[in-house]
Amino acid sequence: MKGRIHNFNPGPAALPLPVLEEIQAEFLNFKGSGMSITEVSHRSKSFDEVIEDAAARVKRLLKLDDSFHVVFLQGGASFQFCMVPMNLLPDGQHADYVNTGTWATKAINEARIQGKTVNVAASSEDRNFSYIPRQISFMPGGAYVHITSNNTIKGTRWATFPDTAGVPLISDMSSDIMSKPFDPSPFGLIYAGAQKNLGPAGATVVIIRQDMLERVPQHLPAMLKYTSFVEKNSMFNTPPCFAIYMIQLVLKWLEETIGGLENMEIINRQKADLVYQAIDKSEFYTGTAEKESRSLMNVTFRLPSESLEKEFVKQAAENGMAGLKGHRSVGGCRASIYNSTPMEAVKALVDYMDEFARKSG
């Protein structure tokens, strides 16, 4: 569409153009209500249909059975770093965490600051978090195992989830939820900030298994308890209506236009393969993640020098490609290619990479 650029931002990130167009078209009058979606009561029938449909689509897309609840919270994954141990890690017990980078480290810190006992069962810090650990030492009797399914900053992901021998798995899936099918049965809880694969910033999807709710302590403040949100169907208080509405439309696009997570994974693999091939065939680009741990969502790479990296990002912007700078904590370059990033954008990026290497190499 005229004036639109190719968006490789790590989050908030690209969203499907048909979804944006639908929102724009009905922004002054949502479903004939005579009000904007931003003005509609969260207690209205029309909003109820939105939130019910969004939750139902999460359940269908992820093939969740009725033991799972889907709720929409606020505060992003960072708030979940605090809520998970507060609700699900009883005093006197421990939880296992696998440290695969910045966000996993934060999750560990937020449990420890509450005085909770964390066993770091594995870490890839020894090689700057460039891989997913294969040797994991779970401490028996843990309350849960916490992982970060995809590491946005380091460009790694769990290709297969660890076997926890029945201990509930908990995952921050902010940056790869809905990117591929997986078996949800080992998971006690999954959380994801919306602003990568689901919608805009401002909502967090939390999927929680019924048996986990029994652990929630009675005497927590209401807004810090998962049970408050499950019992009131995400409406313990006014939810972030616009963000949930947009998530609903993105999920509808994923189900009805893409055709579900099996198709989404095929497309995501094709997109990632294109970028990794551009890296691997050249002497100019170097991928920073070890090959078997490479993320399909965030492709991290270096150029021969920092000044070339700076030039690469600058010229990309001049050519209508945004968001290619690596995270400020690690430097380098990064192309985030979430579900909504079209193949056309990836092709444009790869052409640009080839051209830039040829000119500068």
Stretch that binds its own copies, among 117-125, 147-155, 161-169, 213-221 (CB under 8 A): 213-221
Q: Which of 116, 158, 176, 196 is catalytic?
A: 196
CB atoms within 10 A of CB 42: 16
- Does position 101 interact with its own copies (CB under 8 A)? The reply is no
- Does position 88 interact with its own copies (CB under 8 A)? The reply is no
Stretch that binds its own copies, among 51-59, 91-99, 159-167, 240-248 (CB under 8 A): 240-248
Residue in 120, 139, 236, 274 binding its own copies, rule: CB under 8 A = 236
Strand order in the sheet with 286-287: 286-287, 298-302, 333-336
- Does position 1 interact with its own copies (CB under 8 A)? The reply is yes
Between vectors from CA 169 to CA 192 and to CA 78, what angle results, nearest 5°?
A: 35
Residues 295-324 that bind its own copies (CB under 8 A): 320, 322-323
Answer yes or no: 172 catalytic: yes
Residue in 203, 208, 212, 278 binding its own copies, rule: CB under 8 A = 203
Q: Name which of 64 and 86 has its Cβ closer to its own copies.
A: 86
Q: 11 and 152 in contact (C-beta within 8 Å)?
A: yes
For residues 121 and 345, what is the distance between their CA atoms, to the nearest angstrom? 39
Answer yes or no: 183 catalytic: no
Q: Name which of 76 and 186 has its Cβ closer to its own copies.
A: 76
For residues 173 and 355, what is the distance between their CA atoms, to the nearest angstrom? 34
H or E segment to which residue 120 belongs = strand 117-123
Q: 84 and 146 in contact (C-beta within 8 Å)?
A: yes
For residues 331 and 327, what is the distance between their CA atoms, to the nearest angstrom? 6
Q: Name which of 136 and 201 has its Cβ closer to its own copies.
A: 201
Which residue carries 């909502």 as its tokens? 203
Q: Which of 96, 116, 154, 172 is catalytic?
A: 172
Site map for its own copies, 164-183, x if CB under 8 A?
--------------------
Residue in 133, 155, 200, 326 binding its own copies, rule: CB under 8 A = 200
DSSP 125: G
Q: 129 and 84 in contact (C-beta within 8 Å)?
A: no
For residues 57 and 247, what is the distance between their CA atoms, to the nearest angstrom? 10
Q: Name which of 173 and 241 has its Cβ closer to its own copies.
A: 241
For residues 317 and 271, what is the distance between their CA atoms, to the nearest angstrom? 20
- Does position 81 interact with its own copies (CB under 8 A)? The reply is yes
Name the packing angle between helices 343-360 and 261-280 (round to 10°).
0
For residues 268 and 180, what is the distance between their CA atoms, to the nearest angstrom? 8
- Does position 221 interact with its own copies (CB under 8 A)? The reply is yes
Determine the straight-line distance between the first and last CA of the chain, rounded to whole angstroms.
33
Q: Name which of 6 and 94 has its Cβ closer to its own copies.
A: 6
Site map for its own copies, 13-52, x if CB under 8 A?
xxx-x--xx-xx--xxx--xxxxx-xxxxx----------
Residue in 120, 136, 223, 348 binding its own copies, rule: CB under 8 A = 223
Answer yes or no: 48 catalytic: no
Q: 187 and 144 in contact (C-beta within 8 Å)?
A: no
Stretch that binds its own copies, among 221-229, 251-259, 284-292, 348-356 (CB under 8 A): 221-229
For residues 361 and 284, what is the distance between their CA atoms, to the nearest angstrom? 6
Q: Which residues are catalytic?
A: 103, 172, 196
Which residues lie near its own copies (CB under 8 A)? 1, 3-5, 7, 9-15, 17, 20-21, 23-24, 27-29, 32-36, 38-42, 74-79, 81-82, 86, 106, 110, 113-114, 193, 195, 199-203, 219-224, 236-243, 246, 320, 322-323
